[in-house]
Structure 1
Amino acid sequence: MEVSSKAKAEWYSGLTTGQGKAHLESGNGSFDVNWKARSEGEAGVTTPEELLAAAHASCFSMALSFALEQNGTPPHWVKVDAEVKFEAGVGVKSSMLTVHAKVSGIDQLEFTRFAEDAKENCPVSKALAGVDISLESATLEESVV
Structure 2
Amino acid sequence: MKITNHGSATYEGLGKGGKGHVSTGSGALAAQPYGFQTRFEDEPGTNPEELIAAAHASCFTMALSFKLAEAGHTDGSVVTSAEVTLEKTDAGFTVTKSALSTKGKVPGLDQAKFEELAADAKANCPISRLLNAEITLDTKFAG
Q: State the match for 2:121 in structure 1.
A: 118
SS at match of 2:127: helix
Query: Can you give the 5+ residue segments of structure 1 that lack an aligned partner in the other structure?
Result: 131-145
Bigger Rg, structure 1 or 2: 2
CA contact (8 A) 2:37 2:43 kept: no
Residues 76 and 8 of structure 1: CA distance in aligned 2, closer, same or farther (over 3 Å): same
Q: State the match for 1:90 in structure 2.
A: 93
Shift of 1:129: 4.7
Q: Which runs of 4+ in 1 moved over 4 A?
A: none
Q: State the match for 1:51 in structure 2.
A: 51
Shift of 1:119: 0.9
CA contact (8 A) 1:65 1:75 kept: no
Q: State the match for 1:35 in structure 2.
A: 36
Shift of 1:75: 4.4
Shift of 1:43: 4.2
Q: State the match for 2:65 in structure 1.
A: 65
Q: State the match for 2:112 in structure 1.
A: 109
Partner amino acid, structure 1, of 2:53: A
Partner amino acid, structure 2, of 1:85: T
Q: TM-score, normalised by structure 2?
A: 0.84
CA deviation vs aligned residue, 1:72-110 (integer Å, no higher than 9, x gap) = 014411111011111242311110000011101210111
Query: Can you give the 5+ residue segments of structure 2 that lack an aligned partner in the other structure?
Result: 134-143
* RMSD (Å), alpha carbons: 1.6
Q: Matched residue pairs, number? A: 129
Which structure would you say has the larger RCO, counting Cα contacts within 8 Å and 6 or more residues apart?
1
| More displaced 10-residue stretch of structure 1: 88-97 or 118-127 | 88-97
Q: TM-score, normalised by structure 1?
A: 0.82
Partner amino acid, structure 2, of 1:34: G
Q: State the match for 2:25 in structure 1.
A: 25
Q: State the match for 1:135 in structure 2.
A: none
Q: State the match for 2:2 in structure 1.
A: 2
Shift of 1:47: 0.4
Question: How much identity, in percent, do the aligned residues show?
Answer: 40
Q: State the match for 1:77 in structure 2.
A: 77
